Amino acid sequence: MIHILFTGGTISMRRDSAAGGNVPAHGGDALLALAPGVERIAPVRVEDWARRPACHFGLGDLWRLRERVREIAAGGDATGIVVTHGTDTLEESAYLMARTLDTTIPVVLTGAMRTADDPDWDGAANLTDAVRVAASPLSRGRGALVVFAGSIWRGEDAVKVEATALAAFGAPHDVRTGAVSAHAVDYELAAHPRAPLSPRGLTARVALVALVPGDDGALLDAALPSHDGVVLIAFGSGNAPPGIVPALRRWTDSGKPVVLATRCALGQVTPLYAFEGGGAQLVRLGVRPAGPRTAWQARMELCIALSAGVPYGGEPQHDLP
């Protein structure tokens, strides 16, 4: 039996002329009626957990959703779980579940880029594909997955890379893990699960600061008293304006972690430059490269790690896992 958690997002929306745009409308039963192929794949159980836009979810909401998924998995009667989710923050939920859930049954997140009122609505196909992936024995032990537009992505890799296209998700620091069609679920990569972190909630406050030309570190200083860590979105391979260095030293002197990400769409921080503000200098000051993550993934990793009481994710100094 596949347990489907409906949380809202575009997949649940219809256009409301009075509101002037798309708003949540459909519950789980209505969405299943629009995807009639689902019941031929596996028995399903529907839960209307929420009917909200994903951009309305805070960290507390994401944690409560994660906890509900954990409860269902621990219940023992579900062979797979599907979560329908708005695409705005689907990657945060997927990353959180991938890094903190310890379950062998598949947890599959999906959504839509069009509403049921649109002629090219993708919700029915994505929901059907997600159920097919969750029901496949090949998906066991693979942790949290994202299924979108026929592709399967690992939860810790999946990123929304296109704002409006139907194939909205990709993996800037990896490749897709598999594909799904009406005929088969095929995995192109072997499973390589990692030991999950075990926070009791997302209690750590982690700032995300994008650096700009001529930056003087004012935002870094402003965030220091109220945050437990910070992720910097730097230039290129991890370089920063020299004006931020004094503020950065105040962060490292405080013992609070600083993680260095890049604003580039592809590639990762590689500390090669030793000039003032260069990535090599920042690493010598105690800053840690984000590794194969976007800045947003690095923020989730740091938030999860600090909430679990594990500094820097418990990994070697040169990188986050």
pLDDT at 15: 85
Domain ranges of the chain: 2-187, 206-314
Element spanning 64, H or E: helix 59-75
Residue 87 burial class via C-beta count within 10 angstroms: exposed 0-12, middle 13-18, buried 19 and up: buried
> Is the pLDDT confidence value at 313 over 70?
no
| CA atoms 151, 155, 156, 158: torsion sign | positive
For the segment 116-174, what is each residue's pLDDT rounded down to a tens digit? 999 999 999 999 999 999 999 999 999 999 999 999 999 999 999 999 999 999 999 99
Do the domains 206-314 and 2-187 match in fold? yes
Q: What is the DSSP letter of 118?
A: S
For the segment 213-252, what is each residue's pLDDT rounded down to a tens digit? 999 999 999 999 999 999 999 999 999 999 999 999 999 9
Q: What is the mean pLDDT of the chain?
A: 94
Please report how the helices 59-75 and 90-100 are oriented relative to each other, as an axis angle in degrees rounded to 10: 50
**Can you give the pTM of this predicted structure?**
0.94
pLDDT level of residue 312 (50, 70, 90 thresholds): low
Contacts of 88 (CB under 8 A, 6+ apart): 9, 53, 54, 55, 160
For the segment 26-60, what is each residue's pLDDT rounded down to a tens digit? 899 999 999 988 989 999 999 999 999 999 999 99
Separation CA 154–CA 150 (nearest Å) = 14
Domain 2-187 has CATH 3.40.50.1170: yes
Partnered with residue 273 across adjacent β-strands are: none
Contacts of 191 (CB under 8 A, 6+ apart): 141, 142, 143
Catalytic residue list? 10
pLDDT at 19: 84
CATH architecture for segment(s) 206-314: 3-Layer(aba) Sandwich (3.40)
Residue with tokens 């950065």: 248
